[in-house]
Chains A and B, each alone.
Chain A
Amino acid sequence: MHRPSVLQGIRDAAALAPPLFAFGVLFGVLAVDVGMAPWLAVAASLIVLSGAAQFALVGVLPAGAGAVLVAVTGLALRHVPMSAALARLLPAGVGRRRRLALAYVLVDETFGLTVIAARRPGVVIADYKTGADVVLVVNWLIGTTLGAVLGRLVDPTRFGVGELFPLMFLGLAAPLVRGRRAWITAVAAAVAAAVAATVLPEAWRVTGAAVAAALVGSRVRE
């Protein structure tokens, strides 16, 4: 392991720890609120490890298994291009077990940090992402546990937790907006997301808008 890259990943992800933790608490509270056992809420955070998919899971749980699986699949499809983009950044020497471990924590937040870090010289991508992933998993699991145990005693939405998460994504987007192609992609994504939010089912909005905007951006010359 390249220690400086691991530490850099931990340091960079520490900036995202408060919103990750708060969102973990929110998930725990909501899961228990819809009748999920506290241990199952924590198990969901460990097994699924995807904020969006887990919120969809508890949101459509009353509608039955079919609705849950359609929602989870719709949200997870955005990971196909994420998986391809991360695979491009990894050297061939990274073993399969390591690749599968990186895939297990292929979440928006640490993926974003990794894409940004890949632009810096001397960063070992697999090690950097591992460091960032540790911070994410620890905060997500502790937050979920706390939320599931405290349940209705806390209301994280009162503290604007719902807005912290989108702001974090805005923060991840900011360093990537450089050059004509990036600006056009960003504007296209904002417009596509605004349209998708009003016409597409919830689980397909982000995936649909991101793919549409990336298609627009990919046709723009630098």
Chain B
Amino acid sequence: MSELSLVVVAGLITFAIRASYLWRRSSTVPASPFLEVFPLALFVSLATVGLAAADGMLEVGAGIAAGIGGILGAVLGRRRILWVIGAGAAAFAVARLV
């Protein structure tokens, strides 16, 4: 399979899964606690894997410092995204210097 075909197939798989519920015009997705909490679970999982275990091992380092900084930023900045990113990036930079 050529690289271009592989990219196209990857795109088709991704799109088909993304459209699985959205394509139906009269979508009757029932309200469920699972769907309600899934976005939060997804974002915390993405953040944890990226900051604490990017290489498949739990690491106590600058990534964790960035996470703590981000949480502090969320508290101080009334949960604004820019505060989280800014405080997390600052904590990361400081941790790398120390």
Real binding pair: yes
The answer to whether A197 and B53 touch (CB under 8 A), given A81-B34, A167-B88, is yes
Interface flags for B23-35 (1: CB within 8 Å of A; 0: not) read 1111101011111
Tell me how many residues of B have a C-beta within 8 Å of chain A.
70
State A85–B80 Cα separation when bound (angstroms): 23
The size class of the interface chain A forms with chain B is 35 or more
What A residues does B4 contact at CB under 8 A?
A: 40, 43
What A residues does B23 contact at CB under 8 A?
A: 96, 99-100, 103
Chain B residue nearest to A191 in the complex (CB)? B48
Cβ–Cβ contact B49 & A193, under 8 A: yes
The answer to whether A82 and B39 touch (CB under 8 A), given A170-B70, A189-B45, is yes
Which of A1-9, A130-138, A140-148, A205-213 participates in binding chain B?
A205-213
Chain A min CB distance to B76 (Å): 11
Cβ–Cβ contact A194 & B52, under 8 A: yes
A-B contact count (CB 8 A): 291
The answer to whether A213 and B27 touch (CB under 8 A), given A112-B39, A167-B66, A167-B84, is no
Interface majority SS on A: helix, strand, loop or mixed?
helix
A residues apposed to B, CB below 8 Å: 15-16, 19, 36-37, 40, 43-44, 47-50, 53, 57, 61, 65, 68-69, 72-73, 76-88, 90, 92, 94-96, 99-100, 102-104, 106, 108, 111-112, 115, 160, 162-177, 181-182, 185-186, 188-190, 192-194, 196-198, 202, 205-206, 209-211, 213-215, 217-219
A-B contact pairs, 22 of them (CB 8 A): A48-B11, A48-B14, A83-B17, A99-B19, A108-B46, A163-B62, A163-B89, A165-B50, A167-B51, A167-B67, A167-B85, A167-B92, A170-B88, A171-B74, A173-B44, A174-B80, A176-B39, A186-B44, A189-B42, A193-B44, A197-B49, A218-B33
For the complex of A and B, list the 4 residue pairs with the smallest distance between their C-beta atoms, beginning with the closest.
A166-B50, A197-B53, A171-B81, A189-B44
